[in-house]
A and B are shown apart, each in its own frame.
Chain A
């Protein structure tokens, strides 16, 4: 089974801090994704990567950046955390192709105080 592991389940940070969220997948998937999930808004794509060192903006990239130095690892960076970035962050991976499902980690619930 595919396993997508997010480094923290819960995280509390302060406004203005630089925050790193880490994600690792063990199935050699080409594509990796970062979403945030908020009540009533569903899953919104922040960034994705289709190859090592490649990244593409999703629907809400402002205030975030990403890094993919190795195929299995995809990091989300909050450059200067703000309270409106308090959310559930979900990482996913897939092999690509319209009939392929995405495999998700269990999420990081991030609170910015």
Chain B
């Protein structure tokens, strides 16, 4: 079965620094990886999608990379702000319907 793992449960960083989150997957490379943000007591919200043949994708202060050799995606929050504090989830399609989610990494940005 395909697994997806996020290495760190929690990440604490100083405002202005870059947060880097890791997502590892097993078995074959998915065609796409997705990243979501979840605030406490709310549902996940889609942020970014990166295709297998894309090395890097950017959206404002967010950057996602996809390394099929390492079977890994990295999610970067640059110039972090306290408002970036949340749990970030990565996900891959298991088949046409199902998404498999990692357990998430909780980011806390200190002012």
Interface residues of chain A, those whose CB is within 8 Å of chain B, are: 4, 31, 40-43, 45, 48, 50, 56, 58, 90, 92, 96-99, 101-107, 109
Q: How many residues of B contact A (CB 8 A)?
A: 25
B60 within 8 A of partner (CB) = no
Beta-carbon contact of B46 and A102 below 8 Å: yes
Partner of A96, one of B44, B91, B96: B96
**Beta-carbon contacts under 8 Å, B58-111 to A:** 89, 91, 93, 96-99, 101-104
Beta-carbon contact of A58 and B98 below 8 Å: yes
Interfacial chain B residues near A96, Cβ < 8 Å: 96-97
Sample 22 A-B pairs with CB under 8 A, ordered by A number.
A42-B89, A43-B101, A45-B98, A45-B99, A48-B97, A50-B97, A56-B97, A58-B98, A90-B43, A96-B97, A98-B30, A98-B31, A99-B49, A102-B44, A102-B46, A102-B91, A102-B99, A103-B46, A104-B44, A105-B43, A107-B41, A107-B43
Interface residues of chain B, those whose CB is within 8 Å of chain A, are: 9, 30-32, 34, 36, 41-46, 49, 51, 89, 91, 93, 96-99, 101-104
Interfacial chain A residues near B30, Cβ < 8 Å: 98
With A42-B101, A42-B102, A43-B89 as contacts: A98 and B96 at CB distance below 8 Å? yes
Interfacial chain B residues near A50, Cβ < 8 Å: 97
Beta-carbon contact of B41 and A106 below 8 Å: yes
Interfacial chain A residues near B49, Cβ < 8 Å: 99, 101
Beta-carbon contact of A99 and B51 below 8 Å: yes
| Chain B nearest Cβ from A8, distance in angstroms | 13
With A40-B103, A58-B98 as contacts: A101 and B34 at CB distance below 8 Å? yes
Interfacial chain A residues near B42, Cβ < 8 Å: 106-107
